């Protein structure tokens, strides 16, 4: 758990990957000639990957004796977030379309 | 219990009290994820109701948004470096990187406030449309978190200068680093599902 190395390698790697993911997302949005749905799926996936990088390489979610609890807590929070976002959009837009 | 100090662990994990505080903060972050999820849900439902007002592609300026993104991403990185040097018990380097983090955070806030002023001048206010109401509530909540984080961090820097690096101040430093990384995680989703989404459509 303690950083033994003299060089913050995981932070540097996480930072570089984050930069790449950000610019790839911008490139896909502006330059790729594919449908809206495909663009949203690609950049949405890139965002999830980048959030994971932050969680594991910057925040070290797994470390400490409560590491497993942290991971389960985050997984549950993400599950609730997906239910709230996807569920709300689904219910409210389909309800609106039906009336 | 809290008197038991385990010196084999990093400073911030050495006491039972510290471990519980850190666990508690992770649970708080879980609640924060849900808070932001509700705001993203509102934006997802109302984000395309323009009421005859400006649309995202009318007002968003990618260059400014990209600068904000890079400022916040870099500040998340430098904040990680601060904790890295804290674990090497190098308080000087830790403080330098932490203050750089704060300056980048302040730069982000400056850019965001400028962006909001620009929108209002263009007639895109919170009252204009459901899109802009939900936009300003989501972005404003994130910006308020950054503002609060900067004030919190300044107070922590003062305490670190007074007390030095102890298990207690190290735990406080570690917890604010989690908070700061979390704000960048939220920004990734704002950048993708608010700004980039607005540019595709």
- How near does any CA of chain B get to the CA of A94, in Å? 10
**Closest to B143 measured CA to CA, from B113, B119, B114:** B113
B53: left (phi over 0), alpha (psi -120 to 50) or beta: beta
Q: Comparing B5 with A76, which gets the higher pLDDT? A: A76
Contact between A43 and B192 using a beta-carbon 8 Å cutoff: yes
**Per-residue pLDDT at B12 exceeds 70:** yes
pLDDT of residue B3: 58
Contact between B33 and A78 using a beta-carbon 8 Å cutoff: yes
d(CA B195, CA A44): 12
d(CA B84, CA B158): 20
Residue carrying the six token digits 């910057």: A58
> What DSSP line would sit under A1-69, residue for residue?
----SSS-HHHHHHHHHHHHHHHHHHHHHHH--S-HHHHHHHHHHHHHHHHHHIIIIIS-TT-STTHHH
pLDDT of residue B1: 44
B37 vs A contacts (CB less than 8 Å): 80-82, 84-85
B177 and B80 in contact (C-beta within 8 Å)?
A: yes
- Please, what is the average pLDDT of chain B? 93
| Reported ipTM | 0.90
Helix (H, G, I), strand (E, B) or coil at A78: helix
B197 vs A contacts (CB less than 8 Å): 40, 43
Q: Give the domains, in start order, of chain B with CATH numbers.
A: 11-40+61-200 (1.20.120.80)
A43 vs B contacts (CB less than 8 Å): 192, 196-197
pLDDT of residue A29: 92
Highest mean pLDDT: which range of A28-37, B4-13, B179-188? B179-188
Question: Structural domain boundaries of chain A?
Answer: 1-60, 64-99
- How near does any CA of chain B get to the CA of A45, in Å? 10
């Amino acid at each position: 758990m303690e950083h033994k190395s003299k060089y913050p390698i995981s932070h540097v790697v996480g930072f570089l990957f984050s930069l790449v993911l950000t610019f790839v997302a911008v490139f896909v949005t502006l330059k790729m000639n594919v449908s809206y749905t495909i663009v949203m799926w690609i950049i949405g996936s890139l965002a999830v990957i980048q959030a994971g990088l932050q969680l594991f390489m910057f925040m070290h979610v797994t470390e400490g004796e409560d590491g497993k609890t942290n991971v389960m807590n985050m997984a549950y929070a993400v599950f609730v977030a997906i239910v709230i976002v996807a569920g709300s959009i689904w219910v409210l837009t389909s309800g609106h379309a039906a009336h | 219990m809290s008197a038991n100090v385990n010196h084999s662990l990093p400073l911030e994990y050495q006491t039972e009290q510290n471990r519980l505080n850190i666990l508690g903060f992770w649970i708080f972050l879980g609640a924060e994820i849900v808070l932001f999820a509700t705001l993203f849900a509102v934006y997802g439902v109302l984000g395309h109701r323009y009421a005859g007002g400006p649309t995202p592609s009318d007002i968003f300026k990618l260059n400014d948004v990209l600068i904000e993104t890079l400022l916040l991403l870099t500040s998340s990185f430098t904040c990680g470096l601060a904790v890295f040097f804290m674990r090497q018990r190098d308080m000087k380097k830790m403080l330098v990187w932490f203050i750089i983090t704060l300056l980048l955070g302040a730069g982000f806030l400056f850019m965001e406030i400028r962006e909001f002023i620009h929108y209002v001048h263009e007639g895109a206010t919170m009252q204009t449309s459901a899109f802009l109401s939900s936009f300003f509530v989501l972005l404003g909540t994130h910006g308020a978190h950054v503002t609060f984080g900067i004030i919190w961090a300044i107070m922590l820097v003062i305490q670190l200068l007074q007390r030095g690096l102890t298990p207690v101040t190290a735990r406080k430093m570690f917890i604010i680093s989690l908070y700061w990384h979390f704000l960048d995680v939220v920004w990734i989703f704002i950048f993708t599902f608010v700004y980039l989404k607005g540019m595709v459509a």
